Amino acid sequence: MRLSGLPALLVALALAAPAAAQNAGQISQVRAGANCPKCNLFQAELSGLTLKGKNLAGARLRQADLSLTIMNRTNFAGADLRDVEAYGGVFSSASFAGADLTNASYVGTHLDGANFRGARLTGANFSGAEMARAVGLSQAQLNQACGDAATRLPGGLRIPPC
């Protein structure tokens, strides 16, 4: 069956449109310092920003760049943080409770006091991360992630090498 005219154009547009693409307006609001729970921040460029104490609970931050950000006390509970790049960021006392950090890179991050209760850490890289006072971490979670000799963890916990 061959489509032509308007039906063919509609099919082509539907196939070309990305599913659940980022929301530029919401990204701009967050860059300006707004809270944005459940926002679509897919592939957001947030590197180098200072966004302390924000509410991004349930937000979609998949593939976002959070490198060198300062996001102390930010609420990421239940957020989609898959494939995030957070190199060198500061996330002291942030909540990652129930968040999905699958394949995220938190290399060299500061995560003291961060809450990881129920977070998914499969494939996450915590090489050089400061996590000695993180809470809610279990050995089962860390067994799914990786780090290195410079990774600092709460007493009694260990992380496989990357």
Distance from C-alpha of 147 to C-alpha of 23, rounded to nearest angstrom: 33
Per the domain annotation, does 17 fall within a domain? no
Per the domain annotation, does 11 fall within a domain? no
What is the domain count for the chain?
1
Mean pLDDT of 14-28: 68
- Helix/strand/coil for 125: strand
Per the domain annotation, does 120 fall within a domain? yes
Per the domain annotation, does 15 fall within a domain? no
pLDDT band at 9 (very low <50, low <70, confident <90, very high): very low
Instruction: Work out the angle at residue 17's Cα, subtended by the Cα atoms of residues 13 and 20, and round it to the nearest 5 degrees.
Output: 145
Residue 78 has pLDDT above 80, yes or no: yes
Picking from 124, 126, 31, the residue whose alpha carbon sits closest to that of residue 69 is 31
Per the domain annotation, does 14 fall within a domain? no
CATH number at residue 38: 2.160.20.80
Structural domain boundaries, residue 98 = 22-162
3-state SS track over 100-116: ECCCCECCCCECCCCEC
Q: Which residue has the tokens 């977070």?
A: 119
| AA identity, residue 130 | E
Per the domain annotation, does 65 fall within a domain? yes
**How many residues does the structure list for the chain?**
162
Mean pLDDT of 55-80: 98
pLDDT of residue 18: 43
Per the domain annotation, does 158 fall within a domain? yes
pTM of the model: 0.86
pLDDT of residue 22: 80
pLDDT of residue 20: 56
Distance from C-alpha of 124 to C-alpha of 131, rounded to nearest angstrom: 14
Per the domain annotation, does 154 fall within a domain? yes
Mean pLDDT of 18-26: 73
